[in-house]
């Protein structure tokens, strides 16, 4: 089983170092610390286990270290920054693991960019050697890239010439969309094994500055100090420790404090149930600053449950979303988050919820929300229903909206889930914004907030038929259909990164030119040239 829970005391591949408002995140991968047997993580190459630690570190920096305004990502090894995803690991992995690994690494890089954009905790990359493939993709996720000018250190995206695949963590998109590299120069860069160094790397906008070895350490810390000085992070605030989640894993279930998962393998379904808080939020802001604050604990539990299902239960293709509890308590917590949104901790809680909901959007599983009497699809938890591919509501149930539904949790396309739902229907969106209080089934259906509403007589049969039909379809076709339909309207760099992963990399990872017995990924390092099917299809 792949476990996504960790903490700095258990890291094998990263070190965190602190100097006032500057943190250094040092990548020093243990070659013998692979998640599976059969490969060594040489040259700071990484697998999913390395990235699980990175994701944990990024999250902890946001909550546990409010004093930190700048984070320097650097290598703990000589003459190499990061060699990217481990090629032996990729060659041995199943198709599903490769794609799941790429999706998680993409989400982690997006979390770094989210910290820079929204948390006042900006990232720098200090490249002191080779940054190849995923290593350069990690650097490109930061705000500022420094490259040592020692005639050896380079940046490269060599996946196409070496492995017959694409960079798997958004490199192609970030090079053009974020770094604004001219597309013909990007074509050269992505077709060149040896990479680019020195002055040319700056001229092509692949890095921000090159620094001579004699000035290296001083320049890195100078840039970090300059960036930290511009941060709005509260240097005197006390961080909130992200204590371990209480989780019980059973043969067909996962149980947390506010989240539970029931798995029915015969039906290829999982029921995810989120429970409302037991009461209203604390009266005082400072009393809320614990890992047990309901919105934060619930978000962390739901995130862990989704990641477990993604990587450990790949044949469970349908997730049924349920809630239970008192909607008034959910709405009271939403009101608390809105009233205190200027506070650094509340800001991080809201951003954490946003990222967890984005992970749900990006999950290649069918999502169906069941809204029944006793449900609490209200405010933040109503986002689960709006994220679903279909939502059905039983007469006698109700849902409710809060101000957080109207801007706190944008999707990857920059729209709220209500804006995406009512794309091209401004009157419907205005009606939802103007509707206070509980919305019962008939009104919710008439307003377009749910797909269908059924009475108690038809409920069981209608739900059963819908779920059985869904699981009877081709999983491949459903993945493509859902990825197309969930993200209406404008494209963003983020939607392009994930869309291209879903379509192009998913396809390439199954083609014999890469993964066949005579493919480039299989033969890498053997000295044997790959044999390509030359049809351009």
Residue whose C-alpha is closest to residue 5's, from 365, 178, 246? 246
Instruction: Answer yes or no: is pLDDT of 502 > 80.
Output: no
pTM here is 0.97
Instruction: Answer yes or no: is pLDDT of 467 > 90.
Output: yes
Could you say which DSSP state residue 504 is in? I
3-state secondary structure 136-204: HHHHHCCCEEEEECCCCCCEECCHHHHHCCCCCCCHHHHHHHHCCCCHHHHHHHCCCCCCECHHHHHHC
Question: In the predicted model, what is the mean pLDDT of residues 114-135?
Answer: 97
User: Of all residues in the chain, what percent carry a pLDDT higher than 70?
Assistant: 100
Residue whose C-alpha is closest to residue 142's, from 209, 72, 226, 200? 72
Instruction: Answer yes or no: is pLDDT of 507 > 90.
Output: no
Instruction: Answer yes or no: is pLDDT of 100 > 80.
Output: yes
Q: Which residue matches tokens 């998680």? A: 104
pLDDT tens-digit profile of 317-371?
Answer: 999 999 999 999 999 999 999 999 999 999 999 999 999 999 999 999 999 999 9
Q: How confident is the model at residue 504 (pLDDT cuts 50, 70, 90)?
A: confident
pLDDT tens-digit profile of 386-401?
Answer: 999 999 999 999 999 9
pLDDT tens-digit profile of 208-242?
Answer: 999 999 999 999 999 999 999 999 999 999 999 99
Q: β-pairing, 269-275 with 259-264?
A: antiparallel
Q: What domains, with CATH codes, occur in the chain?
A: 8-229 (3.90.226.10), 248-485 (3.90.226.10)
Instruction: Answer yes or no: is pLDDT of 495 > 80.
Output: yes
Instruction: Please provide the average confidence, as pLDDT, over all residues in the chain.
Output: 96
Q: Residues near 456 by Cβ (< 8 Å), separated by ≥ 6?
A: 394, 395, 396
pLDDT tens-digit profile of 482-492?
Answer: 999 999 999 99
Which of 82-95 are b and which e, b meaning 16 or more Cβ less than 10 Å from the residue's Cβ?
A: bbbbbbbbbbebee
Q: How confident is the model at residue 501 (pLDDT cuts 50, 70, 90)?
A: confident
SS3 state at 503: helix
Q: Which H or E element spans position 410? A: none
pLDDT of 325 reads 98
Least confident of 12-21, 175-184, 510-519: 510-519
Instruction: Answer yes or no: is pLDDT of 537 > 80.
Output: no
Question: In the predicted model, what is the mean pLDDT of residues 299-318?
Answer: 97
Q: Which H or E element spans position 291? A: none
pLDDT of 509 reads 87
**How far is residue 147's CA from residue 116's CA, in Å, rounded to a whole number?**
20
pLDDT of 506 reads 83
Q: β-pairing, 398-399 with 439-440?
A: antiparallel
**How far is residue 474's CA from residue 384's CA, in Å, rounded to a whole number?**
24
Q: β-pairing, 155-156 with 122-127?
A: unpaired
Q: Cβ of 519: how many Cβ atoms within 10 Å?
A: 21
**Residue 406 structure tokens:** 């109207």
**How far is residue 365's CA from residue 367's CA, in Å, rounded to a whole number?**
6
């Amino acid at each position: 089983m792949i476990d996504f829970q960790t903490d700095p005391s258990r890291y094998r591949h990263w070190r965190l170092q602190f100097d006032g408002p500057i943190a250094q995140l040092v990548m020093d991968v243990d070659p013998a610390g692979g998640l599976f047997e059969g490969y060594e993580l040489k040259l700071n190459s990484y697998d999913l286990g390395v990235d699980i630690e990175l994701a944990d570190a990024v999250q902890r920096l946001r909550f546990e270290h409010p004093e930190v305004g700048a984070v320097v990502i650097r290598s703990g090894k000589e003459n190499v920054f990061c060699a990217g995803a481990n090629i032996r690991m990729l060659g041995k992995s199943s198709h599903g693991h490769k794609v799941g690994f790429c999706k998680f690494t993409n989400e982690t890089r997006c979390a770094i960019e989210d910290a820079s954009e929204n948390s006042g905790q900006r990232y720098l990359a200090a490249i002191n050697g080779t940054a190849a493939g995923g290593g350069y993709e990690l650097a490109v996720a930061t705000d500022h890239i420094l490259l040592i000018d020692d005639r050896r250190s380079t940046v490269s995206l060599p996946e196409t010439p070496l492995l017959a695949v694409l960079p798997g963590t958004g490199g192609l998109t970030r090079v053009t969309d974020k770094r604004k590299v001219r597309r013909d120069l990007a074509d050269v860069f992505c077709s060149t094994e040896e990479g680019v160094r020195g002055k040319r790397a700056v001229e092509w906008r692949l890095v921000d500055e090159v620094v001579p070895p004699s000035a290296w350490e001083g320049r890195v810390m100078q840039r970090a100090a300059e960036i930290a000085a511009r941060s709005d992070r509260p240097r005197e605030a006390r961080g909130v420790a992200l204590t371990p989640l209480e989780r019980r894993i059973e043969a067909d279930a996962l149980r947390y404090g506010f989240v539970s998962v029931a798995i029915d393998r015969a039906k290829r379904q999982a029921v995810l149930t989120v429970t409302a808080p037991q009461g209203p939020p604390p009266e005082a802001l400072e009393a809320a600053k614990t890992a047990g604050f309901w919105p934060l604990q619930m978000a962390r539990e739901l995130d862990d449950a989704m990641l477990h299902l993604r990587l450990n239960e790949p044949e469970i293709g349908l997730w049924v979303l349920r809630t239970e509890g008192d909607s008034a308590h959910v709405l009271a917590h939403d009101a608390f988050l809105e009233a205190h949104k200027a506070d650094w901790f509340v800001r991080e809680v809201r951003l954490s919820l946003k990222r967890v909901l984005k992970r749900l959007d990006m999950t290649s599983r069918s999502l169906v929300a069941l809204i029944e009497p006793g449900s609490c699809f209200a405010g933040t938890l109503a986002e689960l229903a709006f994220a679903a591919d279909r939502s059905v509501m039983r007469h006698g149930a109700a849902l409710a909206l809060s101000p957080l539904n109207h801007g706190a949790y944008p999707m990857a396309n920059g729209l709220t889930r209500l804006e995406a739902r009512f794309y091209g229907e401004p009157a419907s969106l205005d009606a939802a914004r103007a509707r206070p209080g509980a919305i019962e089934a008939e009104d919710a259906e008439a307003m377009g907030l749910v797909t269908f509403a059924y009475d108690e007589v038809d409920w069981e049969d209608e739900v059963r038929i819908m779920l059985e039909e869904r699981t009877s379809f081709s999983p491949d076709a459903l993945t493509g259909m859902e990825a197309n339909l969930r993200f209406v309207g404008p494209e963003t760099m983020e939607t392009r990164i994930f869309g291209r992963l879903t379509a192009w990399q998913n396809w390439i990872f199954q083609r014999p030119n890469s993964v066949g017995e005579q493919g480039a990924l299989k033969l890498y390092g053997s000295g044997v040239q790959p044999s390509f099917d030359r049809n351009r299809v």
